[in-house]
């Protein structure tokens, strides 16, 4: 049995991961569960899975959970601080890590697991978008095994040769005959809404994804298609792809989860229900086809497939992300940082939907270029970009 840590255990990916653990209890021993603030959800998980350790990033939640665990006489140890969490992740007590924290706050833990050479199931795309080359270098140096969980990257992973699969982060696509990675996206809930109505979009409307059920941040990112932009950057790093080796295609039905186009004219696609238990079971089963609890795809009830090019007037965030990918690491850090602030502000109704892209563009265009020298430098760029974004919201944008 492998010893598993699930970071972001109370979220949407966390829930899908735990459902695979329920179906395949012989595969993983759940040693650590982590989350931010959801004490009651975590308490229920401790009742069910009795992990050895639990960690909450919020100090108030940590205290409360400790109290509730004691009342319930559950022996799970509550980790107090980030340093102890990072040390545990790097220790022999953990073999495999599901990195499913949302946003840049998942970077340090994901990186700690990578540096310690663990097996990483990577859902937290923001960590890779922020750290790029540092993350890939850490994989190469430590020999960590990285498995893409994001459905598109998992689909691509399933459609490439074992030699590419075994060199994630530094593979040579062209040498294996790959022409292009075709990254599909549904276009989100506003694919057909007149752009003139975008400023009236409410958080509730933006949270309603037509095909997928996900956490709040990724749902808003899907509505702006920033999610596909982050995935473009994620694909660049995972598959060592040049920008012209990745193409975004709108496929509103979300049945094809991405494709790989080869120089002999073949295209290999991975298909299935839009359900994260499919890619999660694939990585947790180590490429074996194990039970995921997902219904087989019924082709007779699938709508016709369609494919279109994304319209950058409708999805300016996608354009900004692809441009940032061309520009380099500092731009992708800023893009991600400001997007996190903008999504929160939109959810709190402080800014309007089109202002998400405007805010990102403004901070990107007013930042001086610098080479990212270290992880600490990376975080200083992240913090500065977030502060700048907050100032602009207060000064110019609040609805």
What is the rounded distance in angstroms from the CA atom of residue 227 to the CA atom of residue 234? 10
> Is 126 an interacting residue with respect to ligand NAD (CB under 6 A)?
yes
240 binds ligand NAD (CB under 6 A): no
Q: Hey, is 257 helix, strand or coil?
A: strand
Residue 105 interacts with ligand NAD (CB under 6 A): yes or no: yes
The only residue of 5, 14, 317, 344 in contact with ligand NAD, by rule CB under 6 A: 14
Told to check if 10 binds ligand NAD by CB under 6 A, we report yes
Q: Which does 105 bind (CB under 5 to 8 A by kind): ligand NAD, Mg ion, none?
A: ligand NAD
* Residues between 96 and 155 with contacts to Mg ion, criterion CB under 5 A: 150-152
In the bound state with ligand NAD, the residue whose beta carbon lies nearer, of 338 and 392, is: 338
Does the footprint of ligand NAD cover residue 13 (CB under 6 A)? yes
* Closest listed residue to residue 247, CA positions, set 237, 236, 238: 236
Confirm or reject binding of residue 57 to ligand NAD (CB under 6 A): yes
Of 21-29, 215-223, 234-242, 351-359, the segment contacting ligand NAD by CB under 6 A is 215-223
User: Among candidates 22, 21, 19, which has minimal Cα distance to 3?
Assistant: 21
Q: Which two tokens stand for residue 12?
A: 């949407």
* Smallest gap from residue 128 Cβ to Mg ion (A): 12
101 binds, among ligand NAD, Mg ion, none (CB under 5 to 8 A by kind): ligand NAD
Count of residues of this chain found to bind ligand NAD when the rule CB under 6 A is applied: 29
357 binds ligand NAD (CB under 6 A): no
- Using the minimum distance from each CB to Mg ion, give the nearer residue, 56 or 280: 280
We find the least distance from the C-beta atom of residue 60 to ligand NAD, in angstroms, to be 13
Are 370 and 381 in contact by the 8 Å Cβ rule? The answer is yes
102 near ligand NAD (CB under 6 A): yes
| Residue placing its CB nearer to ligand NAD in the complex, 8 or 188 | 8
Residues 6+ apart with CB under 8 A from 146: 114, 120, 122, 139, 168, 169, 238
**Torsion angles phi and psi, residue 77, rounded to 5:** -85, 135
Nearest distance in Å: CB 33, ligand NAD: 9
Which of the choices Mg ion, ligand NAD, none does residue 9 contact, using the CB cut-off of 5 to 8 A by kind? ligand NAD
Compute the Cα dihedral for 109, 162, 267, 284 and give only its sign. Answer: negative
Nearer to ligand NAD among residue 217 and residue 388 (C-beta)? 217
Question: How many residues are recorded in the chain?
Answer: 399
Task: Tell me if 51 contacts ligand NAD by CB under 6 A.
Answer: no
Strands (E), the chain: 2-7, 28-35, 53-56, 77-79, 96-99, 119-122, 145-148, 178-185, 246-250, 256-262, 267-271
Question: Is 227 or 355 the residue whose CB approaches Mg ion more closely?
Answer: 227
Classify 50 in phi/psi space as left (phi over 0), alpha (psi -120 to 50) or beta.
Answer: left
Site for Mg ion in 152-211 (CB under 5 A): 152
Neighbours of 249 (CB within 10 A): 16
DSSP string, 182-217: EEEE--GGGSSS-GGGGGG--HHHHH--SS----HH
Nearer residue to Mg ion within complex by CB, 62 or 158? 158
Q: How far apart are CA 330 and CA 324, in angstroms?
A: 8
Instruction: Decide if residue 123 touches ligand NAD (CB under 6 A).
Output: yes
Inter-residue contact 61 to 39 (CB < 8 Å): yes
> Which 365-394 residues touch ligand NAD, going by CB under 6 A?
none
Residue with tokens 């019924």: 298
Residues that bind ligand NAD (CB under 6 A): 8-14, 34-36, 38, 57, 100-102, 105, 123-126, 150-151, 212, 214-218, 276
Residues that bind Mg ion (CB under 5 A): 150-152
């Amino acid at each position: 049995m492998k010893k598993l840590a699930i970071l972001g255990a109370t979220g949407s990916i966390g829930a899908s991961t735990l459902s695979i653990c329920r179906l395949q209890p012989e595969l993983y021993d759940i040693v650590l569960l982590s989350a931010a603030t959801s004490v009651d959800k975590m308490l229920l998980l401790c009742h069910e899975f009795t992990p050895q350790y639990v960690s909450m990033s919020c100090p108030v939640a940590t205290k409360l959970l400790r109290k509730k665990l004691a009342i319930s006489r559950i022996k799970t140890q509550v980790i107090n601080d980030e340093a102890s969490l990072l040390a545990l992740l790097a220790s022999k007590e953990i073999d495999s890590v599901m990195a499913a924290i949302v946003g840049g706050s998942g970077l340090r833990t994901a990186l700690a697991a990578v540096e310690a050479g663990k097996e990483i199931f990577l859902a937290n795309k923001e960590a890779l978008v922020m750290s790029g080359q540092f993350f890939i270098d850490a994989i190469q140096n430590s020999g960590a095994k990285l498995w893409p969980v994001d459905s598109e990257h998992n689909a691509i992973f399933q459609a490439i040769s074992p030699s590419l699969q075994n060199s994630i982060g530094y593979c040579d696509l062209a040498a294996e005959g790959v022409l292009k990675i075709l990254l599909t996206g549904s276009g989100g809930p506003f694919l057909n809404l007149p752009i003139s109505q975008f400023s009236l979009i409410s958080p509730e409307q933006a949270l309603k994804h037509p095909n997928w059920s996900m956490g709040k941040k990724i749902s808003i990112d899907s509505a702006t298609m920033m999610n596909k932009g982050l995935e473009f950057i994620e694909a660049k790093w995972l598959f060592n792809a040049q920008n012209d080796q990745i193409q975004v295609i709108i496929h509103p039905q979300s049945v094809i989860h991405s494709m790989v186009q080869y120089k002999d004219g073949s295209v290999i696609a991975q298909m299935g229900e839009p359900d994260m238990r499919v890619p999660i079971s694939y990585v947790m089963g180590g490429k074996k086809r194990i039970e995921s609890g997902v219904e087989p795809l019924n082709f007779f009830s699938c709508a016709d497939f369609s494919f279109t090019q994304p319209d950058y007037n409708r999805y300016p965030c996608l354009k900004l992300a692809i441009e940032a990918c061309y520009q380099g690491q500092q731009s992708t850090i800023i893009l991600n940082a400001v997007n996190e602030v903008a999504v929160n502000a939109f959810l709190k109704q402080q800014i309007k939907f089109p202002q998400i892209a405007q805010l990102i563009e403004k901070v990107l265009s007013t930042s001086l270029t610098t080479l990212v020298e270290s992880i600490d430098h990376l975080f200083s760029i992240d913090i500065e970009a977030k502060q700048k974004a907050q100032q602009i919201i207060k000064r110019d944008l609040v609805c």
